[in-house]
Amino acid sequence: MVILITGITSGFGKAMAERLSAEGHTVYGTHRKDVEPIPSVHYLRAEVTDDASVAAAVQAVLDAEGRIDVFINNAGMGIGGPLEFSSLEDAKRQMDVNWMGMVRFLHQVVPAMRQRRSGTIVCFSSIGGLMGLPFQGLYSASKFAIEGYCEALRLELRSFGVKVVVIEPGDFSTAFTAQRKSADGPEVHAAYPMYAASLASIEHDETTGLKPEYLAGKIARIVRKRHPAHSYIIASPVQKLSVLLKKILPAKWFAGILSMYYKLG
């Protein structure tokens, strides 16, 4: 299969590119910075916030291969901190990368798949796209947007044989934690005295989380399926349980559980 993955320089993207190319797929991946290349993977320099850059990357694959069998929207970033202290520029940046970045690629990929009446679209959301996470509100908002967009897209493409799959990872040990931009400063901690303890808990869960290679193995199996599920939660048992509890518990009860878990007082 011809597979295009966005953001393959580290974390999930790199692990997926390594696994899928090792399994014999023709893998193309986008990147912004120079890295040591993975053998047999085709690198495309692209910026997800730039329309022309995205269009050129997709066209390069179509020109070389004539098709894209699987598109994996993985590129993303996180901005943390109390929403009160998140600037409008941060909010725009968060949505432009995580959500609009996906939209830009899909505007180029979907027509080719629809015309061939074949293809699989895999978009990365998060458990944070199923519940609003404290001090990660902008990130959650961007992932909620992905959930809604993909739910609609799945229905629109159903009769054309194009499948849309959403991946909802929990905490994983990747460079995402170190690269996240978080609000900080005396005024932030004075206004939200629980923030430091909550942030420490968040970062502990991430740095001790599952390894990206585990997720890559799951993705490799998903792309081989003729009839994949609409979504897959790839997370620890406790985090999978949290999703179930959100569905079955009264909203106030679940909010109380999250408050305790994130040390909100």
CA-based nearest residue to 158, from 125, 203, 113:
113
Mean pLDDT over residues 35-46, rounded? Answer: 92
- Do residues 263 and 196 lie in contact, with contact meaning Cβ atoms separated by under 8 Å? no
- Measured CA to CA, the distance from residue 172 to residue 236 in angstroms comes to 9
**Which residue type sits at 88?**
L
Read off the DSSP letter of residue 158. G
- CA Rg, the chain, in Å? 19
Is residue 180's pLDDT more than 80? Answer: no
Render pLDDT for 60-79 as a digit per residue (tens, 0 to 9): 999 999 999 999 999 999 99
Single pTM value for the model? 0.93
Domains of the chain and any CATH numbers: 2-261 (3.40.50.720)
Other beta carbons within 10 Å of 240 = 15
**CA neighbours closer than 13 Å in the CB half-sphere of residue 109:** 31
Other beta carbons within 10 Å of 111 = 11
Read off the DSSP letter of residue 96. I
Is residue 173's pLDDT more than 80? Answer: no
- Which class for 7: exposed (0-12), middle (13-18), buried (19 or more C-beta within 10 A)? buried
Question: What residues form DSSP beta bridges with 236?
Answer: none
Q: State phi, psi for 189 to the nearest 5 degrees.
A: -70, -30
Question: Any idea which residues carry the catalytic annotation?
Answer: 139
Render pLDDT for 121-147 as a digit per residue (tens, 0 to 9): 999 999 999 999 999 999 999 999 999
Q: Which two tokens stand for residue 254?
A: 């679940």
Torsional sign, CA 60, 61, 67, 72: negative
